[in-house]
Amino acid sequence: MTERVLTPRNRGFLFLDSHPTGCRRLVDDMWQACPAPAEVPAGDGPVALVIGSSAGYGLAATLAGLRRAGIRGIAVSFEKAPTARRTATAGWYRTAATAGIARAAGRDLVFLNGDAFSDAMKDQVAELLERRFGGRLDYLVYSVAAPRRTDPDTGAAYASVLKPIGAANRTKTLVFDDQGAPEVREVETGPAEGDDVEQTVAVMGGVDWERWIDHLAGRGLLAEGFATAALSYIGSPLTAAIYRQGTIGAAKAHLEATARTLDERLAKTVGGRAVTSVNGAAVTQSSTAIPGIALYTGL
């Protein structure tokens, strides 16, 4: 990116530009906040795959895995590079900072940028595991939040929505004007219509997580005792109507059902397990899509 002065530009409470130095500071702070164990495994630590490693829970899992478990392996995210007019996405700079930390720690962690929903990315990961990491995977962490997904088999495109089911929902949210002055406003979100629920489940449910497991198992890459976790969020009663009880809640229920199915299957095939991990509210680009979450996390 050419040298330029970055000034905050926002739409509502979401800033449109990102600052490389700020992103690096955020990653460094997370790294320092993660306590190191007395002993970290040597260079042949467990092989992990983190899908959605550039933000939120996935970034936290990547950093904690490096610091506490000495993981090596692959981290996948989907971020935009800088252009002459715009900065890169924040996740682009966070990934660069995480890669620097991995190198300094002597960890062989490969960072891939691309669509995790695609079979091309699954093939690329599988080939890397075979060629570079001895053809075995110990852990898979799935932390993907996305607005859209294309089915690799049918080419059908699905779009997820954050809507309540059955009735409109009113809540208070936080916005900022052009001068940065905050204001609390009440917003209303209309109920799901048509196939909104099915579309959201197709994007944010467990379909792609299971597809990753199927793909890697089909190549014989799951190590004995392999474990996988999908990182998730339920939300508080304040957001329940539009989140856990809304369209995204239907997707979360599907994710949890997928975990039960995968857990039974992995136990039989590799003595492994599958779980969902429910975590607290975090300020991320994905979480800002939830109406009212900016005010909730701010408070």
Residues involved in catalysis: 243
- Strands 72-77 and 148-150, how do they pair? unpaired
Q: End-to-end alpha-carbon separation of the chain, Å?
A: 36
Torsion of the alpha carbons at 278, 284, 290 and 294, rounded to the nearest 10: 110
Closest of 78, 53, 59 to residue 149, by C-alpha: 78
Residue 119 three-state SS: helix
Helical H runs in the chain? Answer: 20-33, 56-64, 90-104, 119-132, 196-204, 207-218, 247-269, 293-298
φ, ψ at 173 (rounded to 5°): -140, 170
